[in-house]
Amino acid sequence: MTWFLDGDGQFPATVTLNLDVTTNVDGYDITEINSIAGWEGGVQAHQVMTVEYSVAGDAGFTSLGTFINTNAVATEYSRISLTDTTGYLAKGVDALKFTYADPADTDRMVLQEIDVIGTARMGTLIRIR
């Protein structure tokens, strides 16, 4: 758990997850991402989150988009859940970057957890005859 405070200039706040590609050199195929925020008051649960990913072998990041959940009220947590109808949000991922913007209607956001669900990417099979 961590928290970001607007008054201390902590927004935008960035969390970067570098995935272990020492064994899985082709990265990971990501199927779901969840971001959960909140603390005693619902206003600390408001999220404005941009998600970016990097693929193995490329240092650049590609945006998945910006996602907003500012519906939490007192004593509630908020959740942003991302999936894709194709089954994958991104393939061959070696890093994810989450940037949380100031939710504007509060001076802080308490981030409880980020869940990234996926599998190690399998290398391409080549048939030799």
Share of the chain above pLDDT 70, in %: 89
Residues 23-40: tens digit of each pLDDT: 899 999 999 999 999 887
d(CA 48, CA 101): 5
User: 17 versus 129: which is more confidently predicted?
Assistant: 17
In this prediction, residue 76 carries a pLDDT of 84
pLDDT of residue 129 exceeding 70, the answer is no
Residues 64-87: tens digit of each pLDDT: 999 999 888 777 889 999 999 999
Half-sphere exposure (Cβ direction) of 86: Cα atoms closer than 13 Å? 6
Q: Mind listing the domains of the chain with CATH numbers?
A: 2-103 (2.60.120.260)
**pTM of the model as a whole:** 0.87
